[in-house]
Amino acid sequence: MAKFPVINMEKLNGEERAATMELIKDACENWGFFEVLNHGIPYDFMDKIESLTKEHYKKCMEQRFRELVASKALEGLQAEVTDMDWESTFYLRHLPESNMAEIPDLTDEYRKVMKEFALKLEKLAEELLDLFCENLGLEKGYLKKAFYGEKGPTFGTKVSNYPPCPTPDKIKGLRAHTDAGGIILLFQDPQVGGLQLLKDGEWADVPPLRHSIVINLGDQLEVITNGKYKSVEHRVIAQTDGVRMSIASFYNPGSDAVIYPAPALVEKEEEEEKKGLYPKFVFEDYMKLYALLKFQAKEPRFEAMKAIATA
């Protein structure tokens, strides 16, 4: 299998720009995932986030997870569990309005650095969307504009920890799914692996790489690019050793944003015949459907939205 794509963003500023843009294009078209280095987020700042996140898990989440495992009788599983994940999580909302102040148990320092991290990731997400526009032949700012609802995009972070699991063959860290939204930026544990994506019918590891940000594309980018870029199924395999940290930030359309294929990316014949066209829908409506069908294939979701649009 081909090597997982790692992009050095520093090379976008020099004579290797064209080759780097080509690497990004290939990653978007053939992987739906890639890792970026030299992305503008200071590495010592990332180290601080990692240490505060792990500290918070130990202090506030670990015992709760143990109690959950006991209450759900997940120790020593004999049969496979398909309706739960082996993960401990909490969610932060940044845009359109932050809920950071409402999350209990966070230290002031942790709140402050997560707020700062969100701003840096938002900037990186918008920079990447413009690079995608360049590769797709869309005007600069098109994708950012497509995500804008009345109040701009939706942006939030899922902070997860995947504790050691005694029966990883019986329960997944996170079951296979595609992401519903736009562009996802993941700061994952630099040592403990487990994230996998489906590539050419086989599960491939997303390698832990210190100070990298893993990028993956959600269902909305597949629709807007008319299938030129694909959202890809991925999962987390529970590990027997080590706690895996995962900080996934989702830069998504605004809830009222209307999503549809960019006209410039729709072939004329396709438009005339209305064949194979992705649906047009309001993002919030898609999310309601996704909430029910997250761990199922995306194609029926697209078909359901198409049926609603033509009803």
pLDDT band of residue 311 (cuts 50, 70, 90) is low
pLDDT band of residue 50 (cuts 50, 70, 90) is very high
Average pLDDT in the 260-282 region?
81
What are the tens digits of pLDDT across the range 109-156? 999 999 999 999 999 999 999 999 999 999 999 999 999 989 999 999
- Which residue range forms the structural domain that includes residue 217? 6-277
What's the DSSP call for residue 152?
B
Examine residue 245 and state whether it is found in any structural domain, yes or no: yes
Examine residue 258 and state whether it is found in any structural domain, yes or no: yes
Examine residue 246 and state whether it is found in any structural domain, yes or no: yes
Tell me the pTM: 0.95
Number of structural domains in the chain: 1
Can you give the pLDDT at residue 212? 98
Strand pairing report for 183-188 and 244-252:
antiparallel
pLDDT band of residue 34 (cuts 50, 70, 90) is very high
d(CA 308, CA 311): 5
- In this structure, what token pair is assigned to residue 20? 């780097």
Average pLDDT in the 154-181 region?
96
Can you give the pLDDT at residue 76? 72
- Mean pLDDT for all residues in the chain: 94
What lies within 8 Å, CB to CB, of 147 at 6+ separation is 129, 153, 182, 220, 251, 252, 253, 254, 257
d(CA 243, CA 239): 8
Average pLDDT in the 199-223 region?
97
Q: Rounded to the nearest 5°, which phi and psi values hold at 154?
A: -100, 135
Residue 269 in this model has a pLDDT that exceeds 60: no
Examine residue 284 and state whether it is found in any structural domain, yes or no: no
The type of residue at 86 is W
Average pLDDT in the 53-66 region?
94
Examine residue 308 and state whether it is found in any structural domain, yes or no: no
pLDDT band of residue 232 (cuts 50, 70, 90) is very high
Examine residue 49 and state whether it is found in any structural domain, yes or no: yes
Residue 274 in this model has a pLDDT that exceeds 70: no
d(CA 24, CA 128): 9
Examine residue 100 and state whether it is found in any structural domain, yes or no: yes
d(CA 205, CA 227): 24
pLDDT band of residue 270 (cuts 50, 70, 90) is low
Residue 135's nearest CA partner among 34, 48, 255 is 34
Give the residue with greater pLDDT, 78 vs 167.
Answer: 167
Can you give the pLDDT at residue 275? 63
Can you give the pLDDT at residue 254? 98
Provide the CATH number for the domain around residue 78: 2.60.120.330
Examine residue 296 and state whether it is found in any structural domain, yes or no: no
